[in-house]
């Protein structure tokens, strides 16, 4: 008997890709790939230079793990990688960033089919 949870995750990733995503460009150095990504966010707490607790949010990109192929190899996100999104007459550029504790991405489902990549916006370019 097939794993029903795996079938459900596969179906959900297909629906997410087809109906709840937009095309983004994922880049590491000179390599890049076009991905279907769903936007999200993650809240976290950090301390500023004076020891005060600051609440912040990342912009997250949920992507199919198997689609993240650079230089012919399936890979995982790395801090410093960039994700570009066209928004009207602008291209927004986000950089993969590690949250406090070092996590820069996490699995978005129990089977690792989807990744949730944590980023911050670092640039905005008019086109």
For 83-116, write each residue's pLDDT tens digit.
Answer: 999 999 999 999 999 988 889 999 998 888 899 9
Residue 2, token pair as written in the block: 């097939």
Q: What is the pLDDT of residue 13?
A: 76
User: What number is the average pLDDT over the span 47-67?
Assistant: 91
How wide is the angle at C-alpha 116 spanned by C-alphas 22 and 126, nearest 5°? 40
> Which of the two residues, 119 and 112, has the higher pLDDT score?
119
Residue ranges of alpha helices (H) inside the chain are 4-19
For 5-52, write each residue's pLDDT tens digit.
Answer: 778 777 877 777 788 889 999 999 999 999 999 999 988 888 888 889
pLDDT band at 118 (very low <50, low <70, confident <90, very high): very high
Residue 91, token pair as written in the block: 């291209």
Q: 62: which strand partners?
A: 38, 116
Backbone angles phi, psi at 19, to 5 degrees: -125, -15
pTM of the entire predicted model:
0.86
User: What number is the average pLDDT over the span 52-56?
Assistant: 88
């Amino acid at each position: 008997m097939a794993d029903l949870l795996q079938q459900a995750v596969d179906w959900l990733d297909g629906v997410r890709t087809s109906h709840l995503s937009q095309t983004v460009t994922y880049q590491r150095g000179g390599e890049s790939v076009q991905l279907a990504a769903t936007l999200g966010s993650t809240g976290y707490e950090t301390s500023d230079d004076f020891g005060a607790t600051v609440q912040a949010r990342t912009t997250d990109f949920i992507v199919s793990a198997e689609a993240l192929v650079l230089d012919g190899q399936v890979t995982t996100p790395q801090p410093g990688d960039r994700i570009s999104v066209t928004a009207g007459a602008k291209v927004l550029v986000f950089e993969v960033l590690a949250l406090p504790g070092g996590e820069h991405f996490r699995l978005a489902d129990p089977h690792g089919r989807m990744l949730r990549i944590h980023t911050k916006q670092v640039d905005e370019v008019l086109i």
